[in-house]
């Protein structure tokens, strides 16, 4: 049983803890952003929607251009005819044939439609601007998702290093306890405690490595690359200057993407309301045609054949004086929709202000927690070093040494968590102020 235990421990050491690893590429923050913008499915869908809105705002979809249609036809008739002419003569024909051919090009253009076309065209322009803001919102939210996963990879990477160091310290303690036991300086309990601790450290390290692999796959999904791609990440974190951050907060009303979308929706509703009034005005149209007609007739007709070509044109006016009240109802509803968008904007403004206050408070709190965690690391490290010296002198037990070691481990991992939590809180605040896409990472 003792041999089996040592073999199992050696397996953990060789393959689970210190398995050889080749140098890996470093996926920088900027590279991750670039790959996300190029490959992320959600962003590609948003860009396609923007392209559709761009097509819709084009002059080809405005109604300002005329329509031009071509028509052509042929007709054949064969029948029996009995004809009596004015001079009293009569004639009978069996199988009288008549053929007619025609072709024309027709032109139609609306000169005036009550300004409905004008306001609809302006509305399509604003629809494009709204789609652009929606695409921006998608990019911002995807960027937050990216860094949530990226910093999780960074946190687990640093935790892995901390756990390696913890494992190394426990391994040294085990060797020391085994030597001391062999020379009769300590009892068997010291060796057993060290063996239990090194297995626990091995398990913690293996679990952290598995979580790290999972987090890397999550990041590969966000940037849409090979799931088996392996890499290291940049663990350096810089925070935005506090004065600059306050300036961003003060200008949030003009930059927050949700408020900007609300403004666009108000503008679109205003244009829709104005367009609905076109029903009360006349419509003036211009028509034109160039045509050719040819006919071949039987002897019973006054002419045996006829060919005509010519141009025709005209101006028409149409005024729907009363449509049963549908136009009035549509205009009233459009006005209500406009008023609703004003209310929606006020609601969004209130919610955004609340979210910014909450995000700023969370950010400041997490910075304070980070400062305390850094101080806690210094205290825990000093305590572990003193405990290690006292353990070597036999002044404390291995249990007390282990407790100081666990305290240091918890302080280091908690500090890692606090650092990345603070940075994510900052990014959330920057997104709410509309500045997430304007900073350097």
- 260-289: pLDDT as tens digits: 999 999 999 999 999 999 999 999 999 999
Residue with tokens 């940037």: 223
> Above 60 in pLDDT, residue 209?
yes
Q: Give Cα 16 distance to the centre of its chain.
A: 38
Crossing angle (nearest 10°) for helices 29-39 and 116-182: 140
> Above 70 in pLDDT, residue 20?
no
What contacts 267, CB < 8 A, 6 or more positions away? 126
Mean pLDDT score, 11-36? 72
Q: How many CA atoms lie within 13 A of 102 on its CB side?
A: 14
Q: Which tokens go with 318? A: 């149409």
Q: How many CA atoms lie within 13 A of 413 on its CB side?
A: 18
Q: What residues are paired with 83 via a beta bridge?
A: 91
Q: Where are the alpha helices (DSSP H) in 59-187?
A: 116-182
Alpha-carbon Rg for the chain, nearest whole angstrom, is 41
Alpha-carbon distance 156 to 380, whole Å? 20
DSSP string of 321-355? S--TTHHHHHHHHHHHHHHHHHHHHHHHHHHHHHH
* Gap between the terminal Cα atoms of the chain: 54
- Summarize pLDDT for 410-428 with one digit per residue, the tens: 999 999 999 999 999 999 9
What letter does residue 441 receive in the DSSP assignment?
-
Lowest mean pLDDT among 43-57, 87-101, 148-162, 406-420: 87-101
pLDDT at residue 90, as a whole number: 75
pLDDT at residue 35, as a whole number: 96
What letter does residue 52 receive in the DSSP assignment?
H
Separation in Å, CA 415 to CA 265, 292, 368: 44, 88, 11
Mean pLDDT score, 54-76? 93
Q: Which tokens go with 233? A: 């990440």
Q: What are phi and psi of 171, to 5 degrees?
A: -60, -45
Residue with tokens 């490595």: 209
Q: Which tokens go with 44? A: 């590609």
pTM of the entire predicted model:
0.88
pLDDT at residue 1, as a whole number: 41
Q: Where are the alpha helices (DSSP H) in 223-325?
A: 242-250, 252-255, 257-276
Q: Which tokens go with 156? A: 């687990």
pLDDT at residue 177, as a whole number: 85
pLDDT at residue 14, as a whole number: 46
pLDDT at residue 301, as a whole number: 67
> Above 80 in pLDDT, residue 188?
yes
Contact 414, 371 (CB under 8 A): no
Contact 72, 146 (CB under 8 A): no
Q: Is 310 helix (H, G, I), strand (E, B) or coil?
A: strand
Alpha-carbon distance 23 to 17, whole Å? 17
What letter does residue 280 receive in the DSSP assignment?
G
Residue with tokens 């890996």: 24
Q: Higher pLDDT residue, 48 or 307?
A: 48
pLDDT at residue 429, as a whole number: 97
Cα dihedral 278, 279, 280, 284 in deg (nearest 10): 70
Contact 282, 317 (CB under 8 A): yes
pLDDT at residue 441, as a whole number: 83
Alpha-carbon distance 136 to 141, whole Å? 9
Mean pLDDT score, 202-222? 97
> Above 50 in pLDDT, residue 212?
yes
pLDDT at residue 11, as a whole number: 47
- Three-state SS sequence of 358-369: HHHHHHHHHHHH
- Summarize pLDDT for 390-401 with one digit per residue, the tens: 988 888 888 999
Percent of the chain with pLDDT over 70: 93
- Summarize pLDDT for 340-384 with one digit per residue, the tens: 999 999 999 999 999 999 999 999 999 999 999 999 999 999 999
Crossing angle (nearest 10°) for helices 326-392 and 398-432: 160
Separation in Å, CA 430 to CA 30, 239, 292: 17, 11, 69
Question: Which of the given ranges, 56-65, 147-156, 183-192, has the highest pLDDT on average?
Answer: 147-156
Alpha-carbon distance 29 to 425, whole Å? 17
- Summarize pLDDT for 8-19 with one digit per residue, the tens: 454 454 445 555
Contact 37, 43 (CB under 8 A): yes
> Above 60 in pLDDT, residue 259?
yes
Mean pLDDT score, 131-148? 97
Alpha-carbon distance 205 to 212, whole Å? 10
Alpha-carbon distance 426 to 366, whole Å? 9
Q: What residues are paired with 96 via a beta bridge?
A: 79
Contact 173, 398 (CB under 8 A): yes
What contacts 397, CB < 8 A, 6 or more positions away? 391
pLDDT at residue 33, as a whole number: 96
Q: Is 291 helix (H, G, I), strand (E, B) or coil?
A: strand
């Amino acid at each position: 049983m003792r041999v089996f235990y040592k073999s199992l421990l050696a397996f953990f050491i060789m393959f689970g803890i210190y398995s050889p690893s080749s140098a890996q590429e470093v996926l920088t923050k900027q590279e991750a952003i670039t790959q996300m913008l190029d490959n992320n499915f959600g962003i590609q869908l948003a860009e396609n929607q923007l392209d559709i809105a761009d097509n819709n705002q084009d002059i080809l979809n405005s109604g300002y251009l005329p329509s031009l249609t071509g028509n052509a036809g042929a007709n054949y008739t064969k029948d029996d005819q009995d004809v009596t002419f004015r001079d009293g003569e009569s004639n009978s024909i069996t199988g009288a044939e008549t053929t007619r051919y025609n072709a024309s090009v027709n032109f139609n253009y609306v000169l005036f439609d009550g300004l409905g076309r004008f306001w609809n065209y302006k509305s399509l322009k604003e629809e494009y601007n709204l789609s652009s803001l929606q695409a921006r919102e998608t990019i911002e939210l995807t960027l937050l998702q990216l860094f949530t996963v990226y910093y999780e990879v960074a946190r687990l990477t640093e935790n892995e290093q901390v756990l390696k160091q913890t494992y190394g310290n426990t391994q040294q303690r085990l060797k020391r306890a085994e030597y001391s036991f062999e020379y009769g300086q300590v009892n068997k309990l010291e060796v057993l405690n060290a063996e239990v601790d090194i297995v626990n450290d091995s398990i913690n390290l293996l679990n952290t490595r598995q979580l790290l692999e999972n987090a890397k796959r999550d990041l590969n999904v966000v940037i849409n690359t090979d799931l088996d791609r392996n890499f290291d990440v940049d663990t350096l974190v810089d925070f935005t200057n506090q004065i600059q951050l306050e300036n961003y907060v003060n200008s949030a009303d003009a930059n927050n993407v949700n408020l900007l979308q609300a403004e666009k929706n108000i503008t679109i509703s205003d244009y829709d309301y104005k367009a609905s009034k076109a029903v009360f005005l006349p419509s003036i149209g211009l028509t034109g045609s160039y045509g050719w007609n040819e006919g071949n007739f039987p002897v019973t007709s006054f002419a045996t054949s006829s060919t005509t070509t010519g141009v025709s044109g005209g101006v028409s006016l149409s005024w729907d004086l009363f449509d049963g009240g549908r136009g009035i109802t549509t205009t009233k509803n459009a006005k209500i929709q406009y008023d609703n968008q004003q209310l929606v904007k006020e609601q969004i403004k209130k919610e955004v202000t609340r979210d910014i206050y909450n995000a700023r408070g969370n950010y400041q709190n997490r910075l304070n927690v980070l400062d305390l965690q850094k101080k806690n690391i210094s205290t825990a490290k000093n305590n572990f070093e003193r405990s290690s010296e006292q353990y070597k002198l036999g002044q404390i037990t291995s249990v007390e040494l282990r407790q100081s070691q666990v305290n240091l481990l918890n302080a280091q991992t908690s500090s890692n968590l606090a650092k990345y939590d603070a940075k994510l809180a900052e990014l959330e605040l920057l997104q709410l102020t509309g500045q997430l896409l304007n900073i350097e990472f």
